[in-house]
Structure 1
Amino acid sequence: MGPRAAARPILSLLLLLLLGAVVDAQPRGRILRGSEAQPHLRPYMASLQLGGQHVCGGFLIAQQWVLSAAHCTEQTNGEHFEVLLGAHSLSEPEPHKRLYRVKAQIAHPGSNIHNNRDDLLLLQLEEKAELNEHVQVLPFQREDRDVAADTVCDAAGWGTVTHSGQRPDRLQEVRRPVIDRELCNHRTRHDNTITAKMMCTDSRKKDTCKGDSGGPLVCNGVAEGVVSAGSRVCGNYKKPAIYTRIAPYAGWIDGVMASGDGDTDGDVAVR
């Protein structure tokens, strides 16, 4: 065997390794290395849709109210979302899956397109959701204190799952540890843009991303945060996932729901 022939297997192996590294280095736009959630074990999850297409996540916090992220409205041209509840698969028939029309959607007045501050959106359904085993309200945190670093929390969504933009039909989930705000604010990470009303989770290899925005970060059974920063490069440990903490906004949430048509007394999950 000549030297050129002997070198071919080595070159082929190197090429395969290089291609694998390139693919592995392109984690944009997906729940990176997450997994399919067990069907209907997150009965609070909502899909915010336009024209029958999933745009963002959200979650039921009262029978007639869904909480999501304000930046999800940036490309809606003033059109109201529709909200899908009771779903695991976005396309397949399921016993309690139902699409609700939205009566009002209220972004926090402090939210804007230039940063991640006050990135919350409340959606009032036209009617109260029918609660059952697949549709449930999720309690949110009202005590204004930080979640301890290294606490492992869950996030889920129907966001894109490949760098080419492929979307999953079934709900995906990922578990990530909370990281200290000081570390998240390091100049090599988010460079002092993370406020006391935000929190971060480690994004090394596993992460939330585009299309997961608005979904809850659940720690010990309670929604602590809302997925924000949907345009962030995902899966990069130098750009940790950013969430809006819910507890500092509990008063605003209660006020908006109380001012909406209909009485929400007894509908809100409190922890």
Structure 2
Amino acid sequence: MQVLGRLLLFLTLICAGSHAHRIINGKLAPEDSMQFMVSVQSKTYHVCGGFLIKEDFVVTAAHCDVNLTHVILGEHNLKNRNAKKININNKYKHSSTVSHDIMLIKLDSGAPIGNNIQTIPLAEKNMNLEDNQECFVAGWGKTEKSNFVVDDLRVVNVSIINQKVCKHNWTHLPNNVICAGGFSTDKGFCQGDSGGPLVCNGKAVGIVSFNKKENCIYPNVPNVYTDVRGYVDWIKDNLKKGMSPIYWG
């Protein structure tokens, strides 16, 4: 695995977890949708979500770097034998800093882009998000009816929360984050969904990062995502450099 920039978020009493985040009050994702979704795995189990941005690069959360070995893509059901398994390149270096919860994973080989495997475009740096704008988040995490991660991809609509409101409800909120879901709603993510994308207007705008530890039904604070818009140049630079170990900062 070559991880081009590993950036960790260390926050007390806050955790997306190594088996991070579940979809709360969502529904099964349609079979012909969200072909960019990736299950990032360690040996035989799901660790986090992620999303394909190039045939050989996946974006996920930095805190998901827990003995990762491969990714699964091309199927909403992780047990389906038609799902494509691609190993993560194991020749990598990494660096970590506080509060930038984003990781770029290099795959051993390119994913076969086609009907059931697609990439998702990144949000532009200047893409505008409006308060209460409806977006969605998807993942294989736990549900309100399960204490275990699920086999079938689930999705839920969430609304963008005003940044001032979010900062007021979080004592320590990092820079470059987006808040959506949780708070005064009954929808959002929880353990098992970390690393998955927040999608607005068909583009990956955020990365599932953290909520209030283990409190998913439902926290009195907003869900927090890494803001992809703040890392677009960093991502594109690393894609151009391919296997070169380029660090954040």
TM-score if structure 1 supplies the norm length? 0.75
Quote the Cα distance in structure 1 between the aligned partners of 2:224 and 2:212: 11
Contact 1:152 1:177 in 2 (8 A): yes
Aligned length: 222
Say if 1:247 and 1:107 are closer, same or farther in 2 by CA, change over 3 A: farther
Q: Which has the higher contact order (CA 8 A, sep 6+)?
A: 2
Q: Which has the larger radius of gyration?
A: 1
**Per-residue CA shift, 1:108-138, capped at 9, x if unaligned?**
84544xxxx2100111111111001110010
The amino acid of 1:45's aligned partner reads M
Quote the Cα distance in structure 2 between the aligned partners of 1:217 and 1:29: 13
Deviation of 1:177 (Å): 0.5
Contact 2:106 2:243 in 1 (8 A): no
Deviation of 1:175 (Å): 0.3
Matched residue, 1:201: 180
Contact 1:185 1:194 in 2 (8 A): no
Matched residue, 1:215: 196
Matched residue, 2:89: 103
Matched residue, 1:138: 120
Say if 1:153 and 1:106 are closer, same or farther in 2 by CA, change over 3 A: farther
Deviation of 1:107 (Å): 8.9
Please give the secondary structure, in 1, of the residue aligned with 2:221: coil
The amino acid of 1:89's aligned partner reads N
Please give the secondary structure, in 2, of the residue aligned with 1:54: strand
Q: Select between 229-238 and 241-250 the one with higher mean Cα deviation.
A: 229-238
Matched residue, 2:47: 55
Matched residue, 2:23: 31
**Per-residue CA shift, 1:76-127, capped at 9, x if unaligned?**
2xx3331111011011233xx2100011587984544xxxx21001111111
The amino acid of 2:164's aligned partner reads E
Quote the Cα distance in structure 1 between the aligned partners of 2:161 and 2:32: 29
User: Any unmatched runs of 5+ in structure 2?
Assistant: 1-19, 245-249
Matched residue, 2:205: 224
Contact 1:45 1:215 in 2 (8 A): yes
Contact 1:179 1:202 in 2 (8 A): yes
User: Any unmatched runs of 5+ in structure 1?
Assistant: 1-27, 263-271
Quote the Cα distance in structure 2 between the aligned partners of 1:205 and 1:257: 37
Q: Determine which structure has the larger helix proportion and give its number.
A: 1
Identity %: 32
Contact 2:23 2:156 in 1 (8 A): yes
Among residues 75, 80, 85, which one is paired with 1:92 in the alignment? 80
Quote the Cα distance in structure 1 between the aligned partners of 2:177 and 2:96: 14
Among residues 37, 57, 71, which one is paired with 1:65 in the alignment? 57
**Per-residue CA shift, 1:133-157, capped at 9, x if unaligned?**
1100100112235511111001100
Quote the Cα distance in structure 2 between the aligned partners of 1:29 and 1:227: 8
Matched residue, 1:15: none
Quote the Cα distance in structure 2 between the aligned partners of 1:106 and 1:248: 24
Point out 4+ residue stretches in structure 1 off by more than 4 angstroms.
Answer: 104-110
Please give the secondary structure, in 2, of the residue aligned with 1:242: strand
TM-score if structure 2 supplies the norm length? 0.82
Say if 1:219 and 1:149 are closer, same or farther in 2 by CA, change over 3 A: same
Say if 1:34 and 1:130 are closer, same or farther in 2 by CA, change over 3 A: same
Confirm whether residue 80 of structure 1 aligns to residue 56 of structure 2: no
CA RMSD of aligned residues (A): 2.3
Deviation of 1:194 (Å): 4.3
Say if 1:174 and 1:111 are closer, same or farther in 2 by CA, change over 3 A: farther
Deviation of 1:234 (Å): 1.9
The amino acid of 2:162's aligned partner reads D
Quote the Cα distance in structure 2 between the aligned partners of 1:147 and 1:221: 13
